[in-house]
Structure 1
């Protein structure tokens, strides 16, 4: 049992709800659930939000009473979509700080582990709690457990706008993640919407109205299941899964500590599978060039093939990996840019369904487009002094913004030279 699963804010808990539905409904041997549960049968999960409704709904919908009551941590009021308010916390009397409660719950979960290897955090980049509190938690976890790894599952807001403060919140959160996290699985709401619409055969005009957040979250969690659900290749001789998938993922796709933004996509089919076609389907919507016209490339990628016909993947893995390396434009100077895992069971399909999934996670330079857009829009607002008083009143001064601009800008610059 090596990971603690931490979900923060409304978005983080909604994704967590879909994630735990996959895990708790899986018709697998009990031993396969070892990485997710403590010895007392409770999930190694901590759910925190500044408002109670999403956490309470999650508790009701995930049955079997698998959540530890003390790990359901809620406040009485939101954080105003303000990173500074989420980071520094409420200053009301007689209200125990959400941060302190969460760190205490994390400490107890770590002590329940046979071996603690790290924390997986679900959160958004735009909300006050999801961006601000998760930043502070990420910083504190790194300081208190320096040998443990941190994998962030981050959801970026729609470009059209979800909040007037989203660019500030995203900038500051991305800066903190760059400093303290080991890897960031970055999901863009706009890209997920397009992907789900394409899978459902809808045009974007109708998709924006008909594709729900629940459907989008289901796609995100199916990608996570493709990457992080236990694989037989990582089990011991006695058949126990140690839950090393998140950390082996980071080892495969983050060979350079400064470049840690990961693009994930998935495609699936039923019946007879042609893995090279699934590879083409996964790579088809991938951004090919930056807004400036420079071709994107990948530092490294991992392909995870799941399904009863895994042998057919193993027989054709060289062809599939070659196609993926070409589509993702893996850098020529990395001698081993592509890795693959296989498993005979699809992570989220009933055992009697012959479903096959191909999930690809790549350290892809298109992440720099998003980072640069956030940096530019936040900087334009900052130069005009827009909304800064909302951050200053909660203790966020110009120095924090200056460091955030510098940190994010340096990542953009490093990705721009990835293919050199």
Structure 2
């Protein structure tokens, strides 16, 4: 039995520099010659003429040119490559509203026109996956506007945002405002958000590199943005590539040990000492011996339930998928275990965004850049209110 987590007829929409860089690594995995090649496996990602069911949108052409060089030649439809010649200045308002001189040929209108045509190419349309950042002007602002426009025009389709949050140390002075506004738009218009935090990704990769070079302590792992994008794409592939759940026990696999190493990295408490909990958890086991996941299901599920602090009010907080093909590591034999959880630790990040954005807002720092490009005071006040309510809901998650 095949299960398609991304939906049988989903469209992939990568927006801005970060979205297109993650998309580049995603398509290199999915469209590789070694990836499963049956029609059923490839259908979620390709249209009937063999083109990727994807749109690449950016306000500048440089990253998109690299994407087209790196991904298998001819995979992208020419009309689905949509670029401008002027960046969005790392400003959500500029990305959302666009230059005042733009008309029906604007990047937004061209993107929506191509999106409609891509929907028409599918036998049915189930939804869209957005790849974008929270901090860049195009990824956060235009990403939010496209999310809103798609929701209004295709209200029955699902919208899943794959959003990358910036380093807390700072990549851009406007990142807290951009993250605040983008997150509030996603809360209003998207059905779900897979959030990748750059600090968390870097920590996990450093820990992994540390284990690999522990025999040579003098080596310091050097991890680039490209490495981090590859890691994010690998997590997406492990979670969202089609799976085939098998029921016949065969061989053994150390799923318990893999789960233990994942659980150890989870934050246990908030900054105020409140215990973090999960409302829902999904495990995806891939690779040789994936069928043995079912043999030790009860203890694994119990460890997941305890490790992720599943709330008591959800009678069925756990789910799992298995597949014999490991899309992340295509050498054989290999195994991967990926966990996707609605974990309340995300509220720590949102609380930090709220606090830093409020300090800047109260000081009127940089606000003239947002007023200049069409933002209004009400946009900020509503964004603060929405994120405050999300943080409160996560805080009360275990109290129902």
Normalising by the smaller structure, the TM-score range is over 0.9
**3-state SS, counterpart of residue 36 of structure 1:** coil
- Aligned-partner Cα distance in 1 for 2:308–2:218: 30
* 1:250 matched residue in structure 2: none
**Which residue of structure 1 aligns with residue 23 of structure 2?**
16
1:193/1:207 contact within 8 Å kept: no
Shift of the 96–206 alpha-carbon distance from structure 1 to 2, 3 Å rule, reads farther
Runs of 4+ residues over 4 Å off in structure 1:
205-209
CA contact (8 A) 2:15 2:143 kept: yes
- Residue 419 of structure 1 aligns to a residue whose secondary structure is helix
The secondary structure found in structure 1 opposite 2:171 is coil
2:385 to 406, 412, 416: 406
Provide the TM-score with structure 1 as the length reference.
0.88
Question: What's the secondary structure of 1:279's corresponding residue?
Answer: helix
Contact 2:277 2:398 in 1 (8 A): yes
Name the SS for the 1:342 alignment partner.
Answer: strand
Q: Given that residues 91 and 370 in structure 2 are in contact (C-alpha distance below 8 angstroms), is that contact kept between their aligned partners in structure 1?
A: yes
CA distance in 2 between counterparts of 1:78 and 1:289 reads: 40
Q: Distance in 1 between matches of 2:69 and 2:221?
A: 28
Which of these residues, 308, 314, 334, is aligned with residue 355 of structure 1?
A: 334
Q: 1:216 is matched with which residue: 224, 228, 232?
A: 228
Q: Where does the alignment leave 5 or more consecutive residues of structure 1 unmatched? A: 235-270
Q: Which residue pairs with 2:83 in the alignment?
A: 74
Aligned counterpart in structure 1 of residue 38 of structure 2, from 30, 38, 58: 30
Query: How far apart, CA to CA, are the structure 1 residues paired with 2:72 and 2:344?
Result: 40
SS at match of 2:288: coil
* 1:59 and 1:67 in contact (8 A); partners too: yes
2:263 to 266, 283, 292: 283
Match for residue 108 of structure 1 among 97, 110, 117: 117
Where in structure 2 are the equivalents of 1:35-114 lying within 5 Å? 35-92=44-101, 96-114=105-123
Q: 1:85 to 1:208 in 2, by over 3 A?
A: farther
1:247-326 equivalences in 2 (<5 Å) = 273-326=253-306
* Structure 2 contact 60–84 (Cα < 8 Å) conserved: yes
Of 128, 136, 150, the residue aligned with 2:137 is 128
Q: How many angstroms apart in 1 are the aligned matches of 2:169 and 2:111?
A: 33
Specify the alignment match of 1:379 in structure 2.
358
- Separation in 2 of the partners of 1:155 and 1:370? 12
Structure 1 range deviating more: 25-34 or 172-181: 25-34
Contact 1:197 1:207 in 2 (8 A): no
Look up the match of 2:321. Answer: 341
Which stretch of structure 1 is more off in the superposition, 281-290 or 88-97?
88-97
Partner residue in 2 for 1:332: 312
- Alpha-carbon distance in structure 2 between the residues aligned to 1:212 and 1:272: 35
Moved more, 25-34 or 295-304: 25-34
Q: Measure how far apart 1:415 and its partner are.
A: 0.5
1:46: Cα distance to partner? 0.2
Is the Cα–Cα contact under 8 Å of residues 346 and 355 in structure 1 kept in the other structure? yes
* CA–CA distance in structure 2, aligned partners of residues 288 and 414 of structure 1: 18
The offset of 1:48, in angstroms, is 0.4
Q: Output the CA distance in 1 between the equivalents of 2:220 and 2:374.
A: 37
SS in 2 for 1:225: helix
TM-score by length of structure 2 reads 0.92
Residue equivalent to 2:4: none
1:210 alignment partner, SS class: coil
Deviation, 1:208, is 9.2
Give the equivalent residue in structure 2 for 1:368: 347
- Quote the offset at 1:201 in angstroms: 0.9
The 1-side partners of 2:295 and 2:26 are apart by 31
Pairwise CA RMSD of aligned residues? Answer: 1.9
Whole-angstrom distance in 1 between the partners of 2:150 and 2:342 = 24
